[in-house]
Structure 1
Amino acid sequence: MTYNPATQTIKTSRLILRLFTTEDALRVAELCNNDNIYKNTLYLPFPYKMDDALSWIRLHSHHFNENKKYEFAITDRISGELYGAIALSNNHHFNHGELAYWVGEEYWGTGYGTEAAKAVIDFAFQEKQYQKVFARCFVSNPASGRVLEKIGMKKEGILRQHVKKENEYIDLVCYGILSHEAAPSS
């Protein structure tokens, strides 16, 4: 993982994580307007429209510059193709943050989510000096849990019936990693 503060980008072997631009809105809307993405995320609306993407993207630069949240587009290092999104919140009071991500369904199983998540964990600990990063996923989404385990997170517990989605209460699986547990990417 290589972070460039001047361009606010993170490079990995296959990816560039960069800030979203309004030019990404159409592709974001295409990728997010997917029932399988919607079912596995806490906050995405469905159907997902261009206006949803634009209103979401407009806040990113401000959040990043104010050190509130770091929201990156997951893109191909060579072609620039947009694969998904990954975000890291910043809780200054506790010196930790939450990792959240989605990857377009056509890119599931490629390892892009794992590679991006590992890079953002490195960013959190090396650049932002966090003590801990945590993440949550639906108990019905074991693939996301596997991604979190691959990047070194440990399952910390289950929040029973913690969120309501489509009139159903859903369990959330909680994962976390402490700064001293993280092995930096090569």
Structure 2
Amino acid sequence: MNLRSLTQADIPSIQRCASVRAIADTMISIPHPYPEGEAERYVLRRLAEFEAGLSVSFIIERKFEPAFCGAIEIRDIESEHSQAELSFWLAVEMWGKGYMSEALQPILRFGFEDLALNRLYAYHMVRNPGSGRVLQKNGFVQEGVLRQRVRKWGMFEDVKLWAIVHSDWQEAAA
């Protein structure tokens, strides 16, 4: 996998992939149908947040055949508390191939070393255990279940909260 910075050139790929119902089904913040122009709004917002030091977004591509596979970002960066949220998703055809675990390692290193964060946390809907497995496999610890935390398509959904702190990441990396 290759990671590269998000650019406006990614708008068509994000619009196409995020429009797939299976993506929206277990993503907290992706609506379905995905509105026309939503990818452009997303990219422009993330680029502005990057300029403000609040977010860093990467595109995941295959190494030998560059093609959009998904996105991973460190967002809601809180310098005062040295923490941020990790968010990620893959195009449906990339699921179950280990791509996210491969992408997560350099992102954790970037968050802890380059951004000097102490804590990264992530959420996923309880009915999306695959995201939980990726987080656990990469050293995250489940901190709790937030009951009925989000409403998705008229139904309240439970969400799991996971986190990894710098000292745990450092020990695992040693």
The normalised TM-score by structure 1 is: 0.86
Stretches of 4+ aligned residues off by more than 3 angstroms: 183-186
Equivalence for 1:8: none
Spell out, residue by residue over 1:80-103, the C-alpha distance to the aligned partner (whole angstroms, 9 max, x if none).
211000111111121101101110
SS in 2 for 1:59: helix
Equivalence for 1:62: 48
Return closer, same or farther for 1:185/1:82 CA change in 2, 3 Å cut-off: farther
Task: Note if 1:45 corresponds to 2:31.
Answer: yes
Contact 1:19 1:61 in 2 (8 A): no
Higher deviation after alignment, 167-176 or 55-64 = 55-64
Shift of 1:49: 4.3
Shift of 1:165: 1.1
1:121-136 aligned within 5 A? 121-136=108-123
Shift of 1:163: 1.1
Q: Distance in 1 between matches of 2:35 and 2:97?
A: 26
Task: Note if 1:164 corresponds to 2:151.
Answer: yes
Q: Distance in 2 between matches of 1:163 and 1:153?
A: 21
The normalised TM-score by structure 2 is: 0.92
Equivalence for 1:35: 21
Which runs of no fewer than 5 residues in structure 2 stay unpaired? Answer: none
Shift of 1:164: 1.1
Higher deviation after alignment, 37-46 or 52-61 = 52-61
Kindly report the root-mean-square deviation, in angstroms, between the aligned alpha carbons of the 2 structures.
1.7
Equivalence for 2:58: 72
Return closer, same or farther for 1:77/1:65 CA change in 2, 3 Å cut-off: farther
SS in 2 for 1:163: strand
Q: Choose the corresponding residue for 2:68, options 59, 75, 82.
A: 82
1:95-110 aligned within 5 A? 95-110=82-97
Q: Which structure: greater helix fraction? A: 2
Shift of 1:36: 1.2
